[in-house]
Amino acid sequence: MSRVRRVAVIAAPPVSMFNLAIPEMLFGKVEVDGGPGYETVICAPDPGPVTTSGGLDLHVPRGLDAVEDADTVILAGSGSYHDPDPRIIDTLRRAGAAGKRIASICTGSFALAAAGLLDGRAATTYWAYRELLAERHPAVDLQDDVLFVQDGPVLTSSGYAAGIDLCLHVIRTDHGAAVANTVARLALVAPVRPGGQAQFTLTPLPPERGASFGATRAWAMEHLDEPLTLSDLARHAGVSVRTLSRRFHAETGVSPLQWLLHQRVERAKELLETTALPMDLLARASGLGTADSLRQHVLRRTGLTPSAYRATFSRLAGGTPGSAVAPRPEAAAPSPPPSLPASLSASPSPSPLPSPSASGAVPVASMSR
């Protein structure tokens, strides 16, 4: 059985109850090899009653010593961002020196910056406090208008629901796309709004800002294996190609072809995890066309070849010791893994795809306020 990963969530009073609930909710839904994938512990500088930003008190029995046994440390947003507790700063510095993965949600980034963990790193925070963070910590490479950023072992997210995206990214990094997507379905949230670690998301997909083309995007998801063109998408939406391109970008933050590429790579990753398809058939099933194209895009997105990705994240019986299986309770009624298209035998030609991103090592995803 795989080792349970430990997550310590630090509650700095007055802590945001929503920030505090996100890690426990999402990590608690991960099951690996028949057991929990994570053990989440909430801790505070002073164990006992901890004031929340809503005026309530939470009982937190663990002190900051819980961080010593953690693999990942998450600092929840707090109203005391302007004056971080020195004990928390010291704990974060020791965790960084020990090589632990460290993350912040919302204003938790101020404590990470005060500990020196963000110096020279790309980072973000809640949009209303970006200018203050930049003023107080000019050594931080502050990213504007993003959901979350990962630079090495340090992750920072913007406000509120962006913490969900950050935690799903951590789960996807540890256990693969299929497990993260299942957790997202169980939590009734969007499975992929990535931005962050270069190893796993080099072509980020911003959050959608509108729904006028929602039906067309849903239709495209059912036809990813087909050679879709801009004309096909525009015809389905009942608009011109020019109108489609302009409004699609306004809604999603990316062009229609960039969106298609992202969805096809995600489909390929899920097929690598859940099937034993040969690479050429898998490439056609995901819409990437050829095994060479599959290798190029998966390697660019994940830092792993398709074979290495499958070996790491396979969910098939008899897979690798680290393969993960997410829970499937009947009440949640999640959709099954993507089925193989009947058109595989027709050898469809791949759709036109944009070139992989050539951006730097710390890509990010756009965020609307």
Q: How far apart are CA 145 and CA 366, in angstroms?
A: 5
First-to-last C-alpha distance (Å) of the chain:
42
Which positions ≥6 away from 95 have C-beta within 8 Å?
Answer: 67, 70, 73, 102
Predicted pLDDT of residue 210: 53
Environment class of 206 (CB within 10 Å of its CB; exposed 0-12, middle 13-18, buried 19+):
buried
> 52-86: b or e for each residue (b if 16 or more CB lie within 10 Å)?
bbeeeebebebebebbeebbbbbbbbbebbeebbe
Per residue in 321-333, pLDDT (tens digit) is 333 322 222 333 3
Q: How far apart are CA 143 and CA 127, in angstroms?
A: 10
Whether residue 237 contacts residue 245, with contact meaning beta carbons closer than 8 Å, is answered with: no
Question: pLDDT-derived band of residue 193, with 50, 70 and 90 as boundaries?
Answer: low
Predicted pLDDT of residue 188: 77
Question: pLDDT-derived band of residue 311, with 50, 70 and 90 as boundaries?
Answer: confident
Q: Could you give the angle at which helices 162-175 and 17-27 cross, rounded to 10 degrees?
A: 20
Is the pLDDT at 341 greater than 80, yes or no? no
Q: Residue with structure tokens 């504007």?
A: 144
Whether residue 48 contacts residue 88, with contact meaning beta carbons closer than 8 Å, is answered with: no
Pairing of strands 57-60, 48-51: antiparallel
Per residue in 62-101, pLDDT (tens digit) is 999 999 999 999 999 999 998 999 999 999 999 999 999 9
How much is the pTM?
Answer: 0.64
Determine the number of helices (DSSP H) and then strands (DSSP E) in the chain. Answer: 13, 12
Whether residue 313 contacts residue 299, with contact meaning beta carbons closer than 8 Å, is answered with: no
Q: Residues 197-213: what's their mean pLDDT?
A: 47
Question: pLDDT-derived band of residue 211, with 50, 70 and 90 as boundaries?
Answer: low
Nearest to 341 by CA among 283, 272, 293: 283
Is the pLDDT at 344 greater than 80, yes or no? no
Rg of the chain taking only CA atoms, in angstroms: 21
The 5-10 sheet, strands edge to edge: 38-43, 5-10, 72-75, 101-104, 154-157, 148-151
